[in-house]
Amino acid sequence: MAAIAVIGAQWGDEAKGKVVHFLAGAAHLAVRFNGGANAGHTVEDAYGTARLHLVPAGALRPGCVGVIAHGVVVDPQVLDEELAELQQQGRPPVRFCLSSRAHLVLPHHRVWEELQGTAGRIGTTRRGIGPAYQERAARSGLRVGDLADMAEVRARLGEAQRNLRRWFGQPGFEVAEVAEQLARFYQAHRERIQDTRALVAAALDEGRTVLFEGAQGTLLDVDLGTYPFVTSSTTTVHGVGWGTGVATARLDRVVGVAKAYVTRVGEGPLPTELRDGAGDHLQQRGREYGATTGRPRRCGWLDLPALRYACRVNEFTELVLTKLDVLGGLPEIKVCTAYRVGGRRVDEFPDRSAELATAEPVYESLPGWTADLRSARVPSQLPQAARDYLHFVEEAVGTEVSMVGVGPGEEEMVER
């Protein structure tokens, strides 16, 4: 029994879905607390490959119930499509509940995102995430619990449409059509809509194991990430309290998930970005394409000042390093140990993106390996160079690596 948070340590896409699925075998609840359908968690199991955007990855385990807590912005259409896809794969029905306080992502949010220009400027996932959180902060958003009152829903949709006309000169959507979709959604899910804060708190009081599944990663956090090239929610461990109403002080383990290299989708600084053969190797061997948008991910060498920063911000009790197998076959592996900014050495991750954008990586070079790691299950089955790589990372960030991903399959993990 434990309260465990799984948090992305980089720019998202760290293969958290696989780690969550692995840990959820022993969990009673799997709780999503931030983000929305911008997230793409991939799980490969006996039923095939599931690409999840809103359904908590842990909920694919029998015995584990998914919770979509209030920090998540819920696109009803995407959620229903996702449930239908899981059903088509022959899976048993997913058990989950939905916070009455969670805000809805509605068609006008996507329209608004395009028209206000953020989609292009930041390279967003175009899922209406920013505008949904904007309306939440402006106190004009619609929450899941509001669906109990359809007259109110229609009035609020009408207001959203009037705003679209006023600001951008177009209606953007059909009020009656959207209201009808929302009424259907409410009818289908009304039993699942509840005060998830109370549910999660009660599970912890009973001593059950609860897994909190972070979406995106530390460097995309709206405050602590590379602003403005970030998402609109709290992606760090602090999002557990923010997005569930359960205090982070209740966590027993904070598991940071980092890739053995870095990737980023969308705009914004990425000091170790590669534009050579090594970058192509990482992209192809790591199948680095966005799970939500299909965009190729930008790839680079592991950035230790950034990872150290994530360890401090989240106080990770342990790290999981994923996709170590992807580094196999490279004659040398570089790691960024510091930056050079304006001619001086900088060891800390800068707090301003403008400074990070000018940072030149200072590299150390480590030997590569050729052996295929995918069959390794215990550390002694890893080649010496791979073990040395892990030690180098642990020393540099001061946090132990407890598990290592060596392939996409659920069993392809080395526990240390």
Neighbour tally for 222: CB within 10 Å: 19
3-state secondary structure 6-48: EEECCCCCCCHHHHHHHHHHHCCEEEECCCCCCCCEEEEECCE
Question: CA–CA distance from 17 to each of 59, 258, 410 (Å)?
Answer: 11, 12, 10
Residue 236 contacts ligand IMP per CB under 6 A: no
Interface pick for ligand IMP out of 6, 12, 219, 313 (rule CB under 6 A):
12
**Least Cβ distance, residue 21 to ligand IMP (angstroms):** 16
Residue 127 contacts ligand IMP per CB under 6 A: yes
Element (H, E) at 243: helix 238-244
**Least Cβ distance, residue 127 to ligand IMP (angstroms):** 5
What's the rounded Cα separation, in Å, for the pair 280 and 164?
43
What's the rounded Cα separation, in Å, for the pair 200 and 7?
18
Residue 216 contacts ligand IMP per CB under 6 A: yes
Where does this chain touch ligand IMP (CB under 6 A) — which range of 122-130, 165-173, 188-196, 320-328?
122-130
**Least Cβ distance, residue 8 to ligand IMP (angstroms):** 8
Residue 226 contacts ligand IMP per CB under 6 A: no
Residue 131 contacts ligand IMP per CB under 6 A: no
Where does this chain touch ligand IMP (CB under 6 A) — which range of 75-83, 226-234, 322-330, 359-367?
226-234
Residue 123 contacts ligand IMP per CB under 6 A: yes
Amino acid at 400: E
What's the rounded Cα separation, in Å, for the pair 175 and 353?
40
Amino acid at 340: R
Nearest to 35 by CA among 165, 108, 139, 127: 127
Residue 125 contacts ligand IMP per CB under 6 A: yes
> What's the chain's Rg over C-alpha atoms?
21
What's the rounded Cα separation, in Å, for the pair 229 and 231?
7
Which one from 21, 41, 53, 103 is the annotated catalytic residue?
41
Is the CB of 146 or the CB of 288 nearer to ligand IMP?
288
Interface pick for ligand IMP out of 34, 124, 234, 248 (rule CB under 6 A):
124
Amino acid at 50: A
**Least Cβ distance, residue 125 to ligand IMP (angstroms):** 3
Q: Which residues of 320-353 are buried (b: 16+ CB within 10 A; e: fewer)?
A: bbbbbbbbbebeebbbbbbbebeeeebeebbeee
> Are the C-beta atoms of 379 and 414 separated by less than 8 Å?
yes
Residue 116 contacts ligand IMP per CB under 6 A: no
Which residues ranging from 367 to 406 are in contact with ligand IMP (CB under 6 A)?
A: none
**Least Cβ distance, residue 322 to ligand IMP (angstroms):** 14
What's the rounded Cα separation, in Å, for the pair 291 and 309?
26
Residue 136 contacts ligand IMP per CB under 6 A: no
Is the CB of 54 or the CB of 265 nearer to ligand IMP?
265
> Are the C-beta atoms of 261 and 302 separated by less than 8 Å?
yes
Is the CB of 93 or the CB of 294 nearer to ligand IMP?
294
Residue 13 contacts ligand IMP per CB under 6 A: yes
Interface pick for ligand IMP out of 107, 130, 214, 405 (rule CB under 6 A):
130
Which residues ranging from 253 to 272 are in contact with ligand IMP (CB under 6 A)?
A: 265-266
How many residues sit in the footprint of ligand IMP (CB under 6 A)?
Answer: 20
Where does this chain touch ligand IMP (CB under 6 A) — which range of 126-134, 163-171, 311-319, 350-358?
126-134
> Are the C-beta atoms of 129 and 73 separated by less than 8 Å?
yes
**Least Cβ distance, residue 347 to ligand IMP (angstroms):** 26
Does the annotation mark 45 as catalytic?
no
Nearest to 301 by CA among 331, 329, 268, 259: 259
Which one from 13, 75, 146, 303 is the annotated catalytic residue?
13
Residue 98 DSSP symbol: E
Does the annotation mark 108 as catalytic?
no
Where does this chain touch ligand IMP (CB under 6 A) — which range of 26-34, 127-135, 178-186, 271-279?
127-135
Residue 39 contacts ligand IMP per CB under 6 A: yes
Q: Provide the annotated active-site residues.
A: 13, 41
- Which residues of the chain form contacts with ligand IMP (CB under 6 A)? 12-13, 38-40, 122-125, 127, 129-130, 215-216, 220, 229, 231-232, 265-266
